[in-house]
């Protein structure tokens, strides 16, 4: 018997997880408390063992994931699809929306109302901030109208808003590589204005006492003020630095991101900030010995390839962790933990 928590059956807003993942949309990192994170990471580690021993399992046999991508993706799309298949489920992909009714002018909410009727869980990536919440609300009303169980919607990135599953895999990677998150000195580098991964990650770090954040961004791409205020209010020490060099010996986790070209109105302003920072083997040689270098990928020159084989480079492993964390999320929201 699957037991849905009262809040997702009655409350149209985004429901907190609070230990019950069944049927929950994953829209924002605000939904998680520390217990949810610890629990998710322990299931993710179990998923890794499944992959390494049997390759797959059948706990989601008969379940179907609809992947709906209105923006480019490699990792989020592939890792969700493969995660679903490793759990015995199936996937329907709508990645080239130009081949769907969207090209005829169909709205996002119409599209997801239908897809939620066909499938058991959806992943959505869309260029507009707030689109995931709007899509989830439409699905909830449709499910209520049809008297069916809630079909969870997982936010795979809503414009410059959030990318919650990326932040979960980022924190999981920090825990795996550093053994803890508490007390670490973490630098977020790059387009902190438009980068949804850093917006979600910074919010999640509020659950770990003693984290010190250093923000390094081109002048025109700072972290939004209200987010910085919010971080400080929750007790996180936040400072800014002009360059990597300035703090090179002070940081345990370097989280590097690309300038989000697609969010710029014109090529000239993008060009003016592109390539403003880069991590080379020489930079790494001056970092703390146990420092790690992360990146949500894709990179477009912020980390040179010569870094790839250094022990500090964890960005490819980070992307692989995404599959384990997404396996755990899919199993959780479909009630199979
Ligand atoms: C990120 C995204 O889409 O926000 N990619 C990803 O999911 N790993 C980062 C980016 O595109 O820069």
Ligand 1 test: best mutation among 163, 263, 322, most atoms within 8 Å of CB?
163
Q: How far is the CA of 262 from the centre of ligand 1 (A)?
A: 11
Q: Looking at residue 276, what is its pLDDT?
A: 87
pTM: 0.96
Per-residue pLDDT tens listing for the chain (337 residues): 566 666 655 555 689 999 999 999 999 999 999 999 999 999 999 999 999 999 999 999 999 999 999 999 999 999 999 999 999 999 999 877 766 777 778 899 999 999 999 999 999 999 999 999 999 999 999 999 999 998 999 999 999 999 999 999 999 999 999 999 999 999 999 999 999 999 999 999 999 999 999 999 999 999 999 999 999 999 999 999 999 999 999 999 999 999 999 999 999 999 999 888 999 999 999 999 999 999 999 999 999 999 999 999 999 999 999 999 999 999 999 999 8
Q: Looking at residue 100, what is its pLDDT?
A: 75
Residues touching ligand 1 (Cβ under 6 Å) are 75-76, 157, 163, 166, 196-197, 257-258, 296-297
Ligand 1: which atom is nearest the Cα of residue 191? 12
Instruction: Give the largest Cα separation in the chain, rounded.
Output: 60
Ligand 1 test: best mutation among 95, 296, 315, 320, most atoms within 8 Å of CB?
296
- Strand-by-strand arrangement of the 237-240 sheet: 237-240, 212-216, 185-189, 253-256, 292-294
Q: How far is the CA of 70 from the centre of ligand 1 (A)?
A: 13
Cα gap 282→278, rounded to integer Å:
10
Q: Name every residue whose Cβ is closer than 8 Å to that of residue 101 and which is 6 or more positions away in sequence.
A: 111
Alpha-carbon distances, residue 324 vs 42, 151, 162, 194, 327 (angstroms): 10, 21, 20, 27, 5
Q: Which tokens is 128 given?
A: 């507009």
Q: Looking at residue 10, what is its pLDDT?
A: 56
Cα gap 67→195, rounded to integer Å:
22
């Amino acid at each position: 018997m699957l037991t849905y928590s009262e809040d997702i059956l009655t409350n149209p807003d985004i429901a907190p997880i609070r230990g019950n993942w069944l049927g929950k949309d994953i829209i924002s990192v605000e939904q998680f408390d520390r217990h949810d994170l610890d629990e998710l990471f322990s299931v993710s580690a179990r998923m890794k063992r499944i992959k390494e021993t049997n390759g797959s399992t059948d706990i989601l046999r008969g379940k179907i994931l609809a992947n709906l991508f209105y923006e480019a993706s490699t990792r989020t799309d592939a890792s969700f699809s493969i995660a679903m298949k490793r759990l015995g489920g199936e996937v329907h992909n709508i990645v080239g929306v130009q081949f769907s009714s969207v090209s005829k002018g169909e709205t996002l909410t119409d599209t997801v109302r239908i897809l939620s009727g066909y499938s058991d869980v959806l992943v959505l990536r869309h260029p507009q901030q707030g689109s995931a919440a709007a899509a989830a609300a439409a699905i909830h009303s449709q499910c209520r109208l049809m008297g069916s169980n809630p079909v969870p919607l997982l936010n795979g990135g809503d414009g410059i808003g959030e990318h919650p599953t990326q932040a979960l895999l980022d924190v999981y990677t920090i825990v795996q590589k550093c053994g803890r998150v508490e007390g670490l000195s973490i630098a977020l580098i790059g387009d902190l204005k438009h980068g949804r991964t850093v917006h979600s990650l910074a919010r999640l770090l509020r659950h770990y006492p003693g984290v010190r954040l250093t923000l390094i961004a081109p002048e025109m791409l700072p972290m939004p003020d209200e987010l910085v205020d919010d971080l400080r209010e929750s007790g996180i020490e936040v400072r800014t630095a002009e360059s990597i060099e300035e703090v090179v010996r002070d940081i345990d986790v370097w989280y590097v991101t690309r300038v989000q070209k697609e969010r710029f109105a014109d090529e000239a302003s993008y060009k003016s900030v592109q390539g403003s920072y880069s991590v080379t083997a020489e930079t790494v040689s001056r970092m703390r010995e146990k420092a790690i270098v992360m990146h949500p990928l894709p990179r477009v020159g912020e980390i040179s390839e010569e870094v790839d084989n250094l022990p500090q480079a964890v960005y490819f492993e980070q992307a692989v962790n995404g599959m384990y964390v997404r396996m755990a999320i899919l199993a959780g929201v479909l009630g199979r933990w």
